[in-house]
Structure formats: structure tokens, C-alpha cells
Structure 1
Amino acid sequence: MPLNTKVGDFLNKTGSSSNYGVKYWHHIIFWGVYFLFNTLRWSGIHDDFLYSLKTNLIGFPIHIILAYFNVYFLMPRFVFTQKYLLYTGYFIASLITMLLVKYNLTYYLAGTDVWPEGPVETTSLTLGYAVQTMIGEVYVVSFFTAIKLTIDWLRESSRINDLERRQLQTELRFLRSQVSPHFFFNTLNNIYSLTLEKSDKAPEVIIKLSELMRYLLYATKKRKQNLTSEIECIQNYIDLERIRFDDSLQIDMNISGELNKCKIAPMLLIPLVENCFKHGASKNIGKMHIDMHLEVSNGFMTFKIANTIPNATKSRDLPTRAGGIGLSNVKKRLELGYRPNDYDLTIFEEDNMFNVLLKLKVI
């Protein structure tokens, strides 16, 4: 493999990412701009562009070698493993090595006065020259290291955020997948009850169920669904329950507002409606009342549903039905799918009615 290919692979590997990606040509641009800036700056200080060009041509390979040696060799092996004394020792040794290399190259290639900006002519390796040169190297290495660490931090933050987002999406899909089997379980129970009674309503229930299945199979795959589709699903579910309970159930529905452009997480309201039947109608002896209001205004949907609280004494003797997800599922899905300021869920009892009030941003 050619040398330039190996260098390109190394630079891409050490600085690439789907986010905040750093390619080899980014390194070239960075050092090229830095070299040009430094050459022009020192040419003004020395009042000698040619000398500044020579010294920077000598100094910049040393800057680059020391910077990459520190970032990609010393820090991973010693700083990230908390071997700070070894890191300090190796770093100082590398500075001294680079000092000797730079002094000799400058002396023989640029001029015998290796420190023109110094207080006196410097033709030997003095303490002042050594300290000044090493401080300059530390400055360059620190600047490059700060950029590298910042990019790494941004990349890691992006990776963590992406991982959290994927985990949330997975959890949301899991919660949505819980709703469908739970919903079908209760609906099939209704059909079972009708078949035991040999009711003529069973075919109608099966048709309604097929419509619900069609909606659930496709709606739950989407992050957001049209509010009108969700309302149609609720209406189908209520129609099924009306068939089952006949005249013992009174349902009042009131829907208003501009619904067409509104979006909502699929199957978010169904568990709230389902709870009214599961914990209200199915456990109540006598008349049962469910009151549902849905209104869209100023980009927010207000959904209130209430059911009669069953008589505890009478409901004790009724068989317990398996389930459920209900309110806990709705709460979790709201937490994962919406920002805190985009919804408000209130649950309370009032006038022998169990109430759930949800205000949700739908535009």
C-alpha cells in the first residue's frame, strides 16, 4: 500500500464519524492555514519574510509530529489510563527531543542566530532559548489537543444522543405493540360473550373488528397518525361495546374543532376509552354512563373521558378480567413521545365519576 494511502487511512480513522467527521483534508487545511498565519505573523516580527518562511518550514513538521504523537499515542496510553506521571515524563522527553532537533535544523539551515527575537544574539543552546521554544511547542500542542478533545466530545455526545433516541424509539414501538394485543384480547372477549349467547350481532362485531385490525396493523407503525383516523378507531371500538352492553350503557360523545391537520401518536387514546369499559362498564351492575369530550383549539387537543365508578360491593363478586396496560402505558408513551410542555395528563374522581383529562399538542 502506498505511503500516502496509509497516512490518509490513519487520519480518516482517527478523526472520522458520521457526525462531526474529520477527514485527512481537514487536517491539511488546518495546518496550512495555521502555517500561513504563523509565517506572516513572524515575518512582521522579524521584518524578514524569507527567514520566517525558513523557520516555519523547519518548525511546523516538528509541531505536527509532536501534536499527533501527544494526541494519538501519549494520551490514549497514559492520560486515559490515569498514568499521569508516565505521561508527564514522556511528554517532557519528547519536548527535549524536539528542542534539540529544532535547534540544530535552525542553526544549519536558517541561520546561526537561532533566536533573533531574543534579547541578545543566540548561537548556542541557552536556557532562555530552550524555555521559550518548549513553551511555544506546548502552546501548539495544547491548541491542537483542545480542538481534538472538543471534536471527540461532540462526537461522543452525538453518539449518546443517537443511542438514547434509538432506545426511546425501541421502547415506544414496544409500548405500541403492547396496545394491539391487549386491545384485541378485550374485543375477542366481547365476541366470545356474544357467541355464547348465540347473538345475531356476532357477524357485525366481526366486521367492526376487521376494520380495527386494518387500522392497528398500519397505524402503529407510524410515529404520528391523523387524529381523524384515531377518532374513527375509537368510534368503532365504542360501537362494538354498544352491541355488547345494549341499553345498560349510556355514552355521550362530543367532538369539535379543526381535526383535519392534527396528528397524534397512534393508539394513544384507545387505552383511556378501553379503561372506561374494563374498569367501569364491565364491573357495574345497572346503568352505566360514559362521557367523552374531544376538542381541538389553538393547536392543542383537550380530551376528557369519564365513567361511573362501579359499586365496590357488587363488583367484588364479578370475575376478574386479565389485563392490562391502560393508564401506565399512556403515561409512558407521553413521556417518551412528547416534550413535557406539550401535554398535561390529569386523573381525578368527582361526583362518583372517574375522570381522565388529557391536553395534548397536536399541530
Structure 2
Amino acid sequence: MSGKSIGNYPVTYKHHILFWVIYFIFNTLRWGSYYDDYDYSLKSNIIGFPIHMALTYFNIYFLMPKFVFKKKYITYAILMLLSLYAMLNVKFYLTYYLLSTNVWPEGPEAIDTLTFNYGVQMMLGELYVISFVTAIKITIDWLREHSMLHELEKRQLATELRFLRSQVSPHFFFNTLNNIYSLSLTKSDKAPEVILKLSELMRYLLYATDKRKQKLRKEIECIQNYIDLERIRFDDSLEVDVEISGDLDGKVIAPMLLMPLIENSFKHGASQNIGQMKISLNIKVEGDFLYFELTNNIPKEKGKSTLPTRSGGIGLSNVRKRLELGYPAEDYELRLEEKNNNFNVLLKLRVSKK
């Protein structure tokens, strides 16, 4: 219990007051029915409850943080016993002088002195109250800490996903600008068309990558624009087969999730190959899932490129990390394999709206 409103489990002073009022009424009715004397029960609880509250708050806000949380258990136990003994004396004399000389009406006989049995019963009763309130405090603290930890994990996840998405865009633009650089060296007439395609891609990236999910159709249009750029760059030396089937409407995907896979096939397949280059892309939607299959031939001999050396390695690891952070394990399956001198990427991904 705390005097502040924190996290998703706020506990204010109003909650403290409400708790003690309800507990006071409950206790008054309980012992009033037991004594068959509600007036005595009311007066007894008026005396007892300030003691309950003082000991309870002393325990949860001083003794526990100071000793229990620091694993000083023996010191804590000694101070708790001393506190209970002090409570016992205060309650006995207040009851004796303000309420009744029979300080233990529920006991086996009338008591007007501080006896051992009376002391044990009062201390155990007080310990019950302290334990009850402390349990509530610990439960609320645990719920608050769990909630804050969950919120922190969500924020860390969102931050990491934003970082990964921002990692995609510069890497993609870097490689595309290299394409324009290559065409400009040869003063190709294709350069204006490439710039136009690039502007369409930039528009998509500006408005799509801030969203957690994007329409699948938009993502595929982005991929097609990128492939068109690469077709212009490689001309007749590149053969790209693209097949898209299934119902794309109403399907969503993490933006720029597939692009690094496409880019990787050109980077490590087409750009390093000599002679005829082939890339095959098959995108199929069946039910709630997207089936993505990408194949490029593995370079037999690395050619000399006029392009500046490009940094690699972040594409596939980026996709893996984004899948891990953005999708439950049962919603995707990614396989990479080399077979018959080809590099294959196979991805099964849930694209239905949940």
C-alpha cells in the first residue's frame, strides 16, 4: 500500500482510508455479535484500531524495507516482538482506564491484570492484522512491479523494432543509390526511370515503416518496384521470375520485412555472378498464411564490379530478429537452404488480422 498513484495499480490515500473504514466496520460487527454488545465492540475497536494502523505502517514502511529487504531477519524479529510488546501494554492500559477493568471479556475469566495468556492472545491477534495488511501490500507491490516490467519489455521491444526498421531503410537506399551511381558512370538513359522508381519507394518508406503492420498488397508493390529497379540495372544479364497468387486483400505484414530477403538475393546472387543470372520469387497467400519462396543461383565466380564495396550481413539477421520480436513463434517459419547450386529462402508467415 502506498500514498501515491503508480503504474496500473494505483493506491492513493483514499484507498487507505476506505480499507480501514471497511475493516473497522467489519470488526465492530464481528465482535459486537460475539459479545452481544455492539457499544462495547465499537469502543474497543476505537481504542484498538489506531494501534493496528500504527504497527502496520511501522512494519511495512520501516521494519520491512530497513531489515527484511536487507536480509537482517533476526534484527527484524527482535524489533517486531518489542513493537508487539509495546502495543500490548498500550492496549491493556487504555482498555483498563478508558473502557473496562475487565480487559479480556472474550477470555475464559475476567482479567484485570496483564497475564501471560492475555499477552499471547493480544500479540497473536495483532500479528494477524499486521500479516493481513502486509500481504495486501506485498501483493500490490508485486502486481505493480510485474506491470512495470511488462511495460518496460513492451517499450524495449518497440524501441528495438524501430531500430531494426530504421536499419532496413538506410541499407536499402544505400544499395539503390549504388545502382544509380553505376548507371551514371555509363551515362545511361535509364537513370531517370531509376530515380522515378526510387522516389516511389521513398514515399512508401516514409509513410509505411512507422506503422506496426502494413497492407500486404502495398508491401508487394514495393518489392515489385525494387525488382524493376534491378531489372533496369542488370538488363539482359538478369532473369527474374515473379509469381504472385492468392487473395491479398485484408492481409497485413510488418513493413519492409520481406525487402531484405529480396535485396539479399540480388546482392549475393546477381551482383556477384558472371553470365546469365536467375532469381525466382513465388508469393502465395493461402488462408491466414503467406508462403514466400525466393531462389537465386549461387555465384560460381565473382566478377569485378564498378560499384563501391557494399557492407553485408545485416539483411537476413535483421529479418530473423524482426520475426522474433514482432511475431509469436507459431506464426512464422523461416528456412534457409543451399540446394542444386541455388540459395533458397522459404518463409511461412501469418498475415491475417488478429
Which deviates more, 185-194 or 321-330?
321-330
Q: Residue 315 of structure 1 aligns with which residue?
A: 302
State the Cα distance separating 1:85 from its structure 2 match.
2.3
Cα separation, 2, equivalents of 1:61 and 1:296? 69
Number of positions where the alignment pairs a residue of Structure 1 with one of Structure 2: 350
**Structure-1 residue corresponding to 2:110:** 121
Q: Distance in 2 between matches of 1:349 and 1:197?
A: 35
**What CA distance in whole angstroms lies between the structure 2 residues aligned with 1:70 and 1:295?**
64
Deviation, 1:317, is 5.9
Is the counterpart of residue 162 in structure 1 residue 155 in structure 2? no
Q: Give the percent of matched residue pairs that are identical in Structure 1 and Structure 2.
A: 65
Q: Match for 1:315: what amino acid?
A: K
Q: CA offset at residue 12 of structure 1?
A: 2.4
In structure 2, the residue matched to 1:305 is 294
Residue identity in the other structure for 2:93: N
> Equivalent residues in 2 for 1:88-237 (5 A)?
88-237=77-226
In the other structure, the counterpart of 2:261 is 272
- Equivalent of 2:283, from 277, 291, 294? 294
Alignment partner of 1:284 out of 257, 261, 273 = 273
Deviation of 1:235 (Å): 0.6
Measured in 2, the distance between the counterparts of 1:279 and 1:11 equals 59
Using the alignment, how far apart are the partners of 2:113 and 2:284 within structure 1?
87
Letter aligned with residue 106 of structure 1: T
Provide the residue aligned with 2:3 in structure 1: 12
Distance 2:137 2:31 in 1: 26
- Aligned-residue offset at 1:298: 2.1
Secondary structure (helix, strand or coil) at the match of 2:166 reads helix
Structure 1 segments, 4+ long, off by >3 Å, are: 316-321
1:341 aligns with 2:330: yes
User: Helix, strand or coil for the counterpart of 1:198?
Assistant: coil
Distance of 2:165 and 2:323 partners within structure 1: 12
Amino acid in structure 2 at the alignment position of 1:17:
I
Letter in 1 for 2:98: L
Q: How much has 1:86 moved relative to structure 2?
A: 2.1
Shift of 1:278: 0.3
Q: CA offset at residue 318 of structure 1?
A: 5.9
The secondary structure found in structure 1 opposite 2:266 is helix
Q: Which amino acid aligns with 2:117?
A: G
Structure 1 residue 178, shift from structure 2 partner: 0.9
The aligned residue for residue 37 of structure 2 is 48
SS at match of 2:3: helix
Q: 1:120-149: per-residue Cα shift (whole Å, max 9, x none)?
A: 111111100000000001110011001101
Counterpart of 2:32 in 1: which secondary structure? helix
Match of 1:3 in 2: none
Gaps of 5+ in 2: none
**What residue number does 1:21 align with?**
10
The reply on whether 1:242 has 2:223 as its aligned counterpart is no
Give the conservation status (yes or no) of the 8 Å contact 2:279–2:297. yes
- The one-letter code of the counterpart of 1:228 is R
- Say which SS state the counterpart of residue 338 (structure 2) adopts: strand
Q: Which amino acid aligns with 1:45?
A: Y
Q: 5+ residue gaps in structure 1?
A: 1-9
Deviations 1:62-117 (A, max 9, x none): 11111011001111112122222222222111111111111111112221111111
Q: Does the Cα contact within 8 Å between 2:7 and 2:148 map onto a contact in 1? A: no
Q: 8 Å contact 2:103–2:112 — kept in the other structure?
A: yes
Per-residue deviation at 1:11? 5.1
Q: Return the alpha-carbon distance in structure 2 between the equivalents of residues 279 and 344 of structure 1.
A: 22
Deviations 1:256-299 (A, max 9, x none): 22212111111100000001100001111111111111122221
Per the alignment, do residues 215 and 69 of structure 1 end up closer, same or farther by CA in structure 2, a change over 3 Å counting? Answer: same
Counterpart CA distance in 1 for 2:123 and 2:331 is 56
Task: Output the TM-score relative to the length of structure 1.
Answer: 0.93
Partner of 2:349: 360
Which deviates further from its counterpart, 35-44 or 191-200? Answer: 35-44
Write the distance in 2 (CA, Å) between the matches of 1:251 and 1:336: 31
